[in-house]
C-alpha cells in the first residue's frame, strides 16, 4: 500500500491556512485529500471548565493525538492537508518523529503582523493578540519546501503554487532536513547551541 501525501500548512492564527486548505481540496485532482485541522480536534473536546494545569495537559494530548491521526490516515493511503500552528518547539519535534518526512510537503504560511491583527479583530472569535504571540514562534525552525504570503497572494494563488510543487516534491524535503538537523543536534554536547530552534 502506498502512503498518502501530506501537505502541512504551518502559520499563526488568522494567517490564512484554512482558506488555503479549502482551495487545495478544490483544485487537487490527482487523489482524495482530507483537510485535518488542529482547531477541529480542539473543538471535539468536552466543554467542561478545566484548570490551567489540566487544560495544558489536555491540549498537549490533543495535539499528540492530532499528529498521530495524520500519520495513521496517511499510512493507509489517504492524502492529507494539515492545518496547524507549530507555536511550541515540541509540536514540530513530535511531527518529525511520527510523520514520514519524505511524504510531507512543508508549507510556511506568512502574513504581516498588522494584517494579522486586522483579521483577528474582524473574525472576533480569537483572543486579541493571539497571532502576535505566535508570530515569532511558528517559523522559528526556519526551513520549508515552499512559503506563501497571504497578504500579497490570494488563497487560490497560494494553493496553485503548492499544487505545482506537490507534483515535483523537493528531495530532500524540509522535514527530512529538519529531522537530520535534529539528529545532528542531539549528538552535540549539552552546552552546544542547537540549530533546530535556535
Q: Which residues are catalytic?
A: 39
Alpha-carbon 183 to chain mean position: 21
> Which three three-digit cell numbers place residue 24?
487545495
DSSP classification of residue 175: H
Partners of 7 in beta bridges? 81, 105
Sheet holding 146-149, edge to edge: 33-37, 79-84, 6-10, 104-110, 146-149
Other beta carbons within 10 angstroms of residue 96's beta carbon come to: 21
Are 145 and 174 contacting, i.e. CB atoms less than 8 angstroms apart?
yes
Amino acid at each position: 500500500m502506498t502512503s498518502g501525501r501530506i501537505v502541512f500548512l504551518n502559520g499563526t492564527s488568522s494567517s490564512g491556512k484554512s482558506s488555503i486548505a479549502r482551495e487545495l481540496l478544490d483544485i487537487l485532482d490527482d487523489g482524495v485529500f482530507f483537510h485535518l485541522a488542529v482547531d477541529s480536534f480542539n473543538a471535539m473536546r468536552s466543554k467542561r471548565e478545566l484548570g490551567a494545569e489540566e487544560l495544558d495537559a489536555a491540549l498537549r494530548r490533543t495535539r499528540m493525538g492530532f499528529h498521530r491521526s495524520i500519520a495513521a490516515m496517511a499510512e493507509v493511503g489517504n492524502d492529507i492537508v494539515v492545518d496547524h500552528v507549530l507555536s511550541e518547539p515540541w509540536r514540530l519535534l513530535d511531527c518529525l518523529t511520527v510523520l514520514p518526512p519524505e511524504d510531507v510537503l512543508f508549507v510556511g504560511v506568512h502574513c504581516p503582523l498588522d494584517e494579522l491583527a486586522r483579521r483577528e479583530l474582524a473574525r472576533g472569535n480569537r483572543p486579541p493578540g493571539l497571532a502576535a504571540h505566535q508570530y515569532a514562534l511558528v517559523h522559528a525552525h526556519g526551513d520549508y519546501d515552499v512559503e506563501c504570503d497571504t497578504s500579497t497572494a490570494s488563497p487560490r494563488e497560494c494553493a496553485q503554487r503548492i499544487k505545482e510543487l506537490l507534483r515535483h516534491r523537493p528531495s530532500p524535503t524540509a522535514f527530512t532536513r529538519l529531522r537530520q538537523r535534529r539528529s545532528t543536534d542531539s549528538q552535540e554536547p549539552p552546552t552546544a547551541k542547537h540549530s533546530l530552534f535556535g
